[in-house]
């Protein structure tokens, strides 16, 4: 005797029903973050209204949003964002190019890898804040100081990802390239780089986030122009300027979210052919 649900489990959905089900699933996934964000903002405002959070320590959500709107109407916020993103972009470019070049060489040479990896692991553990005084002494609170610190910070996590990506190339692909007499730069571009691309993309996403954090910290502690300096200035202005301070903190967070989303989207578009991205798309649409 067949189980009652056996026939129902074999019922196939029509294309229209499957489309409706997929749209409902996407709507639920998109509504989840919005609901959580709304709940967090409501909790923030509720704690402020009930007196748990006092205005001289933590401004209310409405006053912070009002301060953010006021700052966005002027030029100071956009100038600060531009200064922060400029140093971040230059530092990420310098550190990224150096990491890809060094990581490729170390990944292709076993002796060089064994010789350099202890040094890389050592420098990777040094906090960027520890070398901030040296950078300030050499360059002062300038754009150069900021982008060099960003480049130093992004180099180490990215170079390790590049090394692992180059070393993880399928030996069969290398043997096939050798049999077809694909050598030198052509082998690197056609065989090694595509195989290492997912590792490089992951390293770039991590490096981009690290670089933004270091950039804001350099502005906050070192006095370089940007979002971090605006946070410091508002803090030193007293409790009445705390809404402005938290508004710039929100701006820093929004920058991180936008950059992370941009890198994730670029990774999906550029690596759509890779198995990891196909699996990701299949999981999100299921």
Residue spans of the chain under pLDDT 50: 1, 6-9, 281-286
pTM equals 0.79
Q: DSSP secondary structure string, 142-179?
A: SHHHHHHHHHHHHHHHHHHHHHHHHHTS-HHHHHHHHH
Asked if the structure places residue 250 within a domain, the reply is yes
List the CATH number of the domain containing 162.
1.10.3720.10
Question: Does residue 200 contact residue 102 with C-beta atoms inside 8 Å?
Answer: no
| Helix boundaries (H) for the chain | 4-9, 15-49, 61-73, 76-108, 110-124, 128-139, 143-167, 171-179, 184-187, 193-222, 227-236, 242-270, 275-285
Per-residue pLDDT, 154 = 94
Asked if the structure places residue 52 within a domain, the reply is no
Per-residue pLDDT, 158 = 92
123-144 pLDDT per residue, tens: 888 888 888 889 988 998 889 9
Owning domain of residue 155 = 74-285
Asked if the structure places residue 117 within a domain, the reply is yes
Q: DSSP secondary structure string, 173-225?
A: HHHHHHHTT--HHHHIIIIIHHHHHHHHHHHHHHHHHHHHHHHHHHHHHH--S
Asked if the structure places residue 20 within a domain, the reply is no
Asked if the structure places residue 23 within a domain, the reply is no
Asked if the structure places residue 33 within a domain, the reply is no
Per-residue pLDDT, 46 = 82
Question: Does residue 91 contact residue 148 with C-beta atoms inside 8 Å?
Answer: yes
Q: For residue 94, with 0-12 CB atoms within 10 Å meaning exposed, 13-18 middle and 19 or more buried, which class applies?
A: middle
Asked if the structure places residue 83 within a domain, the reply is yes
Counting the structural domains of the chain, the total is 1
Question: Does residue 285 contact residue 22 with C-beta atoms inside 8 Å?
Answer: yes
Asked if the structure places residue 45 within a domain, the reply is no
221-252 pLDDT per residue, tens: 888 889 999 999 988 888 888 889 999 999 99
């Amino acid at each position: 005797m067949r189980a009652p649900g056996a026939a129902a489990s074999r019922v196939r959905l029509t294309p229209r029903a499957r489309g409706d089900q997929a749209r409902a699933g996407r709507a639920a996934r998109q509504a989840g973050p919005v609901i959580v964000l709304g709940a967090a903002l409501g909790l923030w405002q509720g704690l402020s209204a009930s007196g748990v959070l006092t205005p001289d320590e933590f401004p209310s959500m409405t006053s912070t949003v009002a301060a953010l709107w006021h700052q966005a109407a002027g030029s100071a916020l956009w100038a600060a964002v531009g200064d922060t993103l400029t140093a971040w972009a230059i530092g990420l470019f310098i550190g990224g190019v150096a990491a890809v070049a060094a990581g490729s060489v170390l990944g292709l040479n076993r002796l060089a890898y064994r010789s350099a990896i202890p040094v890389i692991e050592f420098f990777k553990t040094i906090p960027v804040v520890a070398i901030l005084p040296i950078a300030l002494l050499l360059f002062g609170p300038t754009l150069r100081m900021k982008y060099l610190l960003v480049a130093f910070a992004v180099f180490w996590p990215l170079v390790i990802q590049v090394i692992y990506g180059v070393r993880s190339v399928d030996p069969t692909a290398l043997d096939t390239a050798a049999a077809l007499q694909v050598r030198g730069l052509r082998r690197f571009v056609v065989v090694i780089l595509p195989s290492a691309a997912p590792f490089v993309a992951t390293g770039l996403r991590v490096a981009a986030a690290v670089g933004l954090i270091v950039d804001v910290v350099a502005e906050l502690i070192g006095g370089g122009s940007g979002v971090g300096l605006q946070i410091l200035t508002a803090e030193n202005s007293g409790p009445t300027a705390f809404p402005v301070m938290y508004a710039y903190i929100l701006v820093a967070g929004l920058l991180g979210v936008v950059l992370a989303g941009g890198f994730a989207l670029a990774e999906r578009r550029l690596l759509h052919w890779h198995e990891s991205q196909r699996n990701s798309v299949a999981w999100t649409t299921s």
